[in-house]
């Protein structure tokens, strides 16, 4: 079968042939229909996830697929089920690491991967959904959308009417604007360095877009809303400069959530750090997937989708094929895309 393989750190993926091995206890074979691309894969390609020792290996951690076969012990899904492929652990067995054959050698992979025609996954990394929900929505539930909803709900504990700023409007950032809107935040401010993100921000009901390369965030906020601070700031960029510029904008009970990962060894300086003690005690925290709990949260999100409340319109900016995966990754790297869907 065809798969995209990371053979060398900081290099394009190889789209080549990989053979499947027999399923072991708790493993499921999934025919992958669509996959998203997440910033985490850029970090893996750069070797920033302590992953250099595992190459060659497979990538991808949000997808939608159909169950093709199940290994011994699997009870959660059966052949033909449509499933969300997610990296956070849900119910079910935590299997051994799946293996494949690549260039005549055994290749170990993560417990969830999605950049391939078929994928062997651990039972606890998939969750069944109704057949009639869209494949793209199903894929976004694997990471981007679920992380965004989890960050807003679990990490930020957003109250109706609180202000939210999202820094970095890639796929996750677009999902965060959407999540803040569903949760009735006001105002919702999107920040990016590319003007084409203004349209994405506004279409997802963000109230203000600021190009932080051209304008001072602080000055625009003051001019447009007469406000000096923001209740919840979520950074997806991992950019030192924008983190340093926005931390001082936190309100007295503000929560600053870091999603984007700084480059290894990089530091952030907190200038005038005494402002952190103004008010009720501000919070700066890093999140792992917004504490998204697949078995509990996916059924709730499917219900909202079926009711027309949760939408994916305007979040997906590109649809590409597995053969074009390196072009797709370049678009994510350049910050020019919202979510990109790979049709496998
Ligand atoms: Zn992700």
Distance 193 CA to ligand 1 centre (A): 21
> What's the CA-to-centroid distance between 22 and ligand 1, angstroms?
27
- pLDDT of 115-136, one tens digit each? 999 999 999 999 999 999 999 9
Q: Which tens digits make up the pLDDT trace of 49-63?
A: 888 888 999 999 999
How far apart CA 188 and CA 120 sit, in angstroms, is 40
Is domain 147-290 annotated with CATH 3.40.50.720?
yes
Distance of CA 6 to the CA centre of its chain: 19
Instruction: Quote the CATH superfamily of domain 2-134+312-343.
Output: Medium-chain alcohol dehydrogenases, catalytic domain (3.90.180.10)
The Å distance, Cα 145 to ligand 1 centre, comes to: 9
Q: How far apart are the CA of 154 and the centre of ligand 1, in A?
A: 17
Cα of 85 vs centre of ligand 1, distance in Å, is 11
At 215-266, the pLDDT tens digits run 999 999 999 888 899 999 999 999 999 999 999 999 999 999 999 888 888 9
**Cα-to-centroid distance, 92 and ligand 1 (Å):** 21
Give the pLDDT mean for 189-197.
Answer: 95
Q: How far does the centroid of ligand 1 lie from the alpha carbon of residue 88, in Å?
A: 10
The token duo for 181 is: 């809107």
Q: What percent of the chain stands above pLDDT 70?
A: 100
Task: For residue 144, report the distance from its CA to the centre of ligand 1, in Å.
Answer: 6
SS (H, E, C) 91-114: CCCCCCCCEEEECCEEEECCCCCC
Domain spans, the chain: 2-134+312-343, 147-290
Ligand 1 mean position, distance from CA 40 (Å) = 6
**Which residues, in sequence order, are CB contacts of 88 under 8 Å at separation 6+?**
146, 289, 292, 293, 294
Counting residues of the chain whose pLDDT is more than 90, the rounded percentage is 85
Compute, in angstroms, the gap from residue 60 CA to the centroid of ligand 1.
8
In terms of C-beta density within 10 A (0-12 exposed, 13-18 middle, 19 or more buried), how is residue 94 classed? exposed
């Amino acid at each position: 079968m065809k798969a995209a393989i990371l053979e060398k750190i900081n290099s394009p993926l190889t789209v080549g042939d990989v053979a499947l091995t027999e399923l072991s206890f708790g493993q499921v074979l999934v025919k992958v229909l669509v996959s998203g691309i997440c910033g985490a894969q850029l970090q893996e390609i750069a070797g920033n996830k302590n992953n250099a020792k595992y190459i060659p290996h497979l990538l991808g951690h949000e997808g939608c697929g159909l169950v093709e076969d199940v290994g011994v012990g699997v009870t959660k899904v059966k052949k033909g089920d449509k499933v969300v492929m997610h990296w956070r652990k849900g119910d079910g067995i935590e299997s051994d690491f799946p293996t494949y054959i690549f260039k005549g050698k055994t290749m170990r992979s993560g417990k969830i991967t999605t950049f391939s025609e078929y994928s062997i996954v651990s039972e606890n990394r998939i969750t069944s959904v109704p057949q009639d929900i869209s494949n793209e929505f199903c894929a976004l539930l694997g990471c981007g959308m679920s992380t965004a909803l989890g960050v807003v709900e679990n990490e930020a504990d957003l109250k109706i009417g609180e202000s939210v700023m999202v820094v970095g409007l890639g796929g996750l950032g677009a999902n965060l604007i959407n999540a803040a809107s569903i949760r009735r935040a006001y105002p919702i401010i999107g920040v990016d360095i590319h003007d084409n993100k203004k349209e994405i921000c506004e279409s997802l009901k963000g109230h203000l877009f600021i190009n932080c390369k051209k304008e001072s965030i602080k000055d625009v906020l003051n001019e447009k809303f007469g406000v000096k601070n923001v209740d919840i700031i979520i950074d997806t960029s991992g950019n030192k400069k924008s983190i340093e510029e926005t931390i001082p904008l936190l309100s007295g009970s503000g929560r600053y959530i870091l999603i984007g990962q700084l480059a290894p060894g990089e530091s952030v300086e907190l200038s005038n750090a005494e402002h952190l003690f103004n008010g009720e005690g501000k919070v700066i925290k890093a999140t792992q997937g917004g504490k998204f709990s697949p078995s509990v949260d996916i059924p709730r999100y499917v219900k909202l989708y079926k009711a027309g409340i949760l939408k994916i319109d305007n979040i997906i900016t590109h649809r590409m094929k597995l053969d074009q995966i390196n072009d797709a990754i370049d678009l994510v790297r350049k910050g020019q895309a919202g979510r990109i869907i790979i049709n496998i």
